[in-house]
A and B are shown apart, each in its own frame.
Chain A
Amino acid sequence: MNHEHDHQTQQHNHEHSHDYGHDHQLPCKDILTNLNAYIDGELDNALCRDIETHIKSCPNCRIVVNTLKKTIQLYQMDGQETTLPDEARHRLMTRLDLDDYVAKE
């Protein structure tokens, strides 16, 4: 992989930057506009299909979509591993005068 090339901006990195979108049904900027909704599964089927067709033939958009999904996934994994420590839970129940209910949790 050529990292020097990869570090350039999307516009300069894209082989077809001057005819952005001409070789796809949707232009790349439309992918960005709908990226959140696409990742969240909130797009209608037709637009979803158009985006999938686009990213199959556009490596840059595919990388943005995949790394964005991975970014979210890594934060979700990090979140799942974060729980309230037992000592802090006990202090909370004491502060709320709910000590009697600790064992019932």
Chain B
Amino acid sequence: MNENINQQEISLEALQRKDKAAFAQLVAQNSDHIYRLALKMLGNPQDAEDILQETFIKAFNNIDGFEGRSKVSTWLYRIAVNESLSLLRKRKDNLTSIDASFETDDGDILPRQIIDWCCLPERELISDEARHYITEAIDTLSDANRATFLLRDVEGLSTREAAKVLDISESAVKVRLMRARMQLRESLTDFFANKLAKESA
């Protein structure tokens, strides 16, 4: 997936002298990625659009301080993730009744259900109902694990790049990714096992 690997290099020097053409190129190359990440983090198109705009405004205002030790796209992801997490924290502050134990996905990673739903026909795996469930299932991950999964598996960042974006160690990225993947596998198994039962009934 990682289309930005093949992206044309944008001159950091041009960005830092606020060259509009260079900045427009940066936006063109990264806006789909940033929007997708924000949408999957927040589950709401309007919030995702706000985060997208904030990310590029902050990038434009702070490009002088960017030292080029990572790719610009990694830096943009970092701004977008931080903005998204900040918005999620604000949302939770407004929900005073929410229980701290709500995020319970930091348990073990042992598989709970062993059901082979890969044999389901493609139409079942990509039906509108399945896609809706797939979208909702990702919201059950903790914010930290969701961000890690999106960066690694949907955006295609390396473990090292994801660690830079999230400002955590590479081993922490691996642990979070494993938990996220296994939890999503269980969620999808819940859903597709029912479909499998109906298929074979």
Chain B residues whose CB sits within 8 angstroms of the CB of A78 once the complex forms: 131, 134-135, 154
The A-contacting residues of B in range 24-66, CB under 8 angstroms, are: 24, 27-28, 31-32, 35-36, 39-40, 45, 49, 52-53, 56-57, 60
Set A32, A67, A89: member contacting B110, Cβ < 8 A: A32
- Min CB gap B65→A, angstroms: 19
Q: Is B113 an interface residue (CB 8 A)?
A: yes
- Min CB gap B145→A, angstroms: 13
Chain B residues whose CB sits within 8 angstroms of the CB of A45 once the complex forms: none
Total contacts A-B at CB 8 Å: 136
Chain A interface bracket (under 10, 10 to 19, 20 to 34, 35 or more):
35 or more
Chain B residues whose CB sits within 8 angstroms of the CB of A36 once the complex forms: 174, 177-178, 181
Chain A binder among B68-76, B90-98, B193-201: B193-201
Q: How distant is the Cα of A13 from the Cα of B113 in the complex, in angstroms? A: 9
Chain B residues whose CB sits within 8 angstroms of the CB of A84 once the complex forms: 31-32, 35-36, 52
30 contacts between A and B (CB under 8 A): A6-B113, A9-B112, A32-B111, A36-B181, A63-B114, A64-B111, A67-B116, A68-B181, A70-B125, A70-B188, A78-B131, A82-B35, A82-B39, A82-B40, A83-B32, A83-B35, A84-B35, A85-B45, A92-B31, A92-B56, A95-B57, A96-B53, A96-B56, A96-B57, A96-B60, A98-B27, A101-B20, A101-B24, A101-B28, A104-B24
Q: Is the CB of B53 within 8 A of A92?
A: yes
Q: How distant is the Cα of A75 from the Cα of B27 in the complex, in angstroms? A: 24
Q: Is the CB of A71 within 8 A of B27?
A: no
Set A60, A82, A101: member contacting B36, Cβ < 8 A: A82
Chain B residue at smallest Cβ distance from A105: B28
- Given A67-B116, A68-B182, decide whether A1 and B40 contact each other with a Cβ distance below 8 A: no
Candidate in A13, A35, A67 with the most chain B CB atoms within 10 angstroms: A67
Chain B residues whose CB sits within 8 angstroms of the CB of A83 once the complex forms: 32, 35-36
Q: What sequence of 0s and 1s flags, for each residue 52-83 of chain A, a beta carbon within 8 Å of any chain B beta carbon?
A: 00000000100110111011101111111011
Q: How distant is the Cα of A67 from the Cα of B116 in the complex, in angstroms? A: 7
Q: Is the CB of A67 within 8 A of B52?
A: no
Chain B residue at smallest Cβ distance from A60: B114
- Given A71-B184, A74-B188, decide whether A64 and B138 contact each other with a Cβ distance below 8 A: no
